[in-house]
Chain A
Amino acid sequence: MVHIETVWHRRLYRDNGSSMNSLGLSLSFLALLACITSAHADGTVQGSVSLDKPKPPAVGPGYKPETQNPVQNEEAPRAIVYLENASGKYPKKSGEVLSIRQQGYQFRPSFAVIQTGGAAEFPNRDDEFHNVFSYSRVRRFDLGRFRKDEPSPRIDFDKPGLVKIYCEIHQHMRCLVLVVDTPWYTTTDAEGAFTLPKVPSGDYTLKALLPSEKTLVQKITVRDGAVTKVAVTR
């Protein structure tokens, strides 16, 4: 819309000279207004998800590696919320790169979502080695052992699905990355609340993935300029 408005503006200016200045400005203003109105025409989905209960920290195995620093707690459980339409055709974001740190002997974040075609890096922020790997069919990789602040290889995610990521050295460390085709996704806060803005109007299936890998499903309809309220329960 902005591009169209700019072309019209230039054409009016060139063809009619300064006498057309006031008309051109008025049309520009109207076009800008239309553009802003259009942006606000998409709907918003807002709601809450009934989250998993926090799990107790894992019991260290008998041969657990001794760590230089204490192992920090896992993140509070959240949910990944995303919308799917019936056609299965979605606009693509480009160049999205997640940064999944290893910090305090945990993945941060430990629960993430990315669109197909995106990528992730795994910077090590601990003073000791980590060895990040995944045996998931969606994306298999093993980064090997690398030290603090050493550049992490970038892993591309080309297929949708759930990628389970672990550390070979610290077996309690785990991370879930959900790869989705849809661009309409978000992660809830620790209370389960979420907001998904800029969703085109239409009928959708809302899915909420929990860390327990259980997926809650709900049908919703999004209307232009409206906020659709959802409570996703089990």
Chain B
Amino acid sequence: MPKLRPLPYPLVIFAAVMLVNGPSLRGQEVLEKIDESLSWTALAGSIQADLSFLQDTEFYIAESQPQGLLDISDNEFLQPRLAAFLDVSAGECWTLHAQARLDRGFDPGFAPDGELRLDEYYLQWRPLADDRMLWRVGKFATVFGAYPRRQLSWDNPFITAPAAYEDQLSVSDDGRPGSVESFLQRRFLPANKRTWLPIIWGPAYITGASVSGRIDKFDYAFEVKTAALSAQPNRWDGIAEGVDAANLAGRLGWRPAEEWTLGASFAYGPYLNPDTAIGLPTGSSWRDYDQTTLGIDAAYAHGHWQCWAELIGAEFDVPNVGRMRALSALAEAKYKITATTWASLRWNQAFFDEVGAANTQWGSDRWRLDLAVGHRFSRHVQAKIQYSFAERTGSDPEGDHLVAAQLTLRF
């Protein structure tokens, strides 16, 4: 008689959470009441504070090596996450925002024993009566591109990020390798992905300052940050890590019609980690090696459709190798099937340049298809399930399939 494989315990826990929290109307009323009670005012309403939470329970089933920013040794992984958001406004001009998270890593599996982090905090000043100019200082999401504005679990139609924001390339921030040959071999060793970098690491909550605003049909945002878009989360905190270099980024947006949003972004600055960069050519400094990123984005929304598209080109100046270019694109659509249920589809594509003398691509051209279905039980409870299939040209040691489920409570 064939022996049945026991259900993995993370799946059992996830199913139990779904059953208890998903359809429970009473539980949702409690969440509604908690949500409404977490606001305070002082000084006749001139100071207001609001505390809110997102509680995600995610479950991943992935082939080794898993796609994207998943660092898991087993094929199954349970990622619980509690994110707390504090918003304080003082008068019409000043706003303070902070986001703390308790989870098993900013990206699933990067801290399997759990950690508590202050991922985002900033002070914002609005000197004018409208939103023509907003100054911000602190640690906050990048202004580059369009995805960071929908990256929280409640707003993201999917569970994972688009490939441009999470698919690690065989570029690292430690200055290695020492030669073109070893660099070209690196892409066949995905077990070392922990040291690799994506073009943009998620929302890139990096310390810095920004000015942004909106004038009629146009909007703008410029920022100076202490690390590059591709920097690992442990380098995002400019206070803890120190301010060694400035990275610039900006985005210009245009709304030709209410349905359309178009944007163009840039980012430029050194991407190597000054603490680990070794083996650099004589006479050069880690500051000499930049990441240059350019992007265009478009979004369309009308009725029950929302669509996004981005095209991002990145160039990494790799020590001892040269300038490595990659082009990544995504097209994403979400359609509300009913008032509470939606389906979404995302196409991710990436192309890699050739290394000069060797005439060999430094990465494997790849595509990934993401499919997701989501359901909102109420304004406070949401569930999603996602399937992703990835394919790469040539030797493909990375896993092709990923299934993920996510339950989110918002209060």
- B partners with A: yes
B336 within 8 A of A: yes
Give Cα A68 to B219, complex, Å. 11
B339 lies within 8 A of A142 (CB):
yes
A142: chain B residues at CB < 8 Å are 304, 336, 338-340
A145 lies within 8 A of B301 (CB):
yes
**Measured between C-beta atoms, what is the minimum distance from A40 to chain B in Å?**
45
Give Cα A62 to B41, complex, Å. 17
Please provide the chain A residues from 63 to 120 with a CB less than 8 Å away from any CB of chain B in the complex: 63, 66-70
What number of A residues sit within 8 Å (CB to CB) of B? 28
**Measured between C-beta atoms, what is the minimum distance from B305 to chain A in Å?**
8
Looking at A8-16, A133-141, A192-200, the stretch in contact with chain B turns out to be A133-141
Instruction: Count A/B pairs, Cβ under 8 Å.
Output: 78
In-complex Cβ contact of B97 among A57, A62, A129, A145 (8 A): A62
B131 lies within 8 A of A146 (CB):
no
Give Cα A147 to B349, complex, Å. 33
B379 lies within 8 A of A141 (CB):
no
B287 within 8 A of A: no
B320 within 8 A of A: no
A141: chain B residues at CB < 8 Å are 339
Q: Say whether, besides A56-B45, A133-B339, A142-B336, A61 and B85 are in contact (CB < 8 Å).
A: yes
A63: chain B residues at CB < 8 Å are 149, 152, 155
Question: Beta-carbon contacts of A116-159 to B below 8 Å, as 1s and 0s?
Answer: 00000000000111000111000011101111100000000000
Please provide the chain A residues from 33 to 62 with a CB less than 8 Å away from any CB of chain B in the complex: 56-62
Q: Say whether, besides A56-B41, A59-B39, A62-B85, A134 and B131 are in contact (CB < 8 Å).
A: no
A166 within 8 A of B: yes
Give Cα A220 to B118, complex, Å. 58
**Measured between C-beta atoms, what is the minimum distance from B214 to chain A in Å?**
5
Closest to A135 in B: B378
Closest to B45 in A: A56
B87 lies within 8 A of A62 (CB):
yes
Give Cα A56 to B43, complex, Å. 12
Q: Say whether, besides A128-B258, A135-B378, A68 and B85 are in contact (CB < 8 Å).
A: no
**Measured between C-beta atoms, what is the minimum distance from A185 to chain B in Å?**
25
B39: chain A residues at CB < 8 Å are 56, 58-59
B85 lies within 8 A of A129 (CB):
no
A62 lies within 8 A of B99 (CB):
yes
Give Cα A60 to B166, complex, Å. 29
Binding site for A on B (CB under 8 A): 39, 41, 45, 48-50, 52, 85, 87-89, 95, 97, 99, 120, 129-131, 149, 152, 155, 214, 216, 219, 258-259, 301-306, 336, 338-340, 376-379
Q: Could you list some 27 contacts between A and B, CB below 8 A?
A: A56-B39, A57-B45, A58-B39, A58-B50, A59-B48, A59-B87, A59-B88, A60-B87, A60-B89, A60-B95, A61-B50, A61-B85, A62-B97, A63-B152, A66-B131, A66-B219, A128-B258, A135-B339, A140-B338, A140-B339, A142-B304, A142-B338, A142-B340, A144-B302, A144-B303, A145-B303, A145-B306
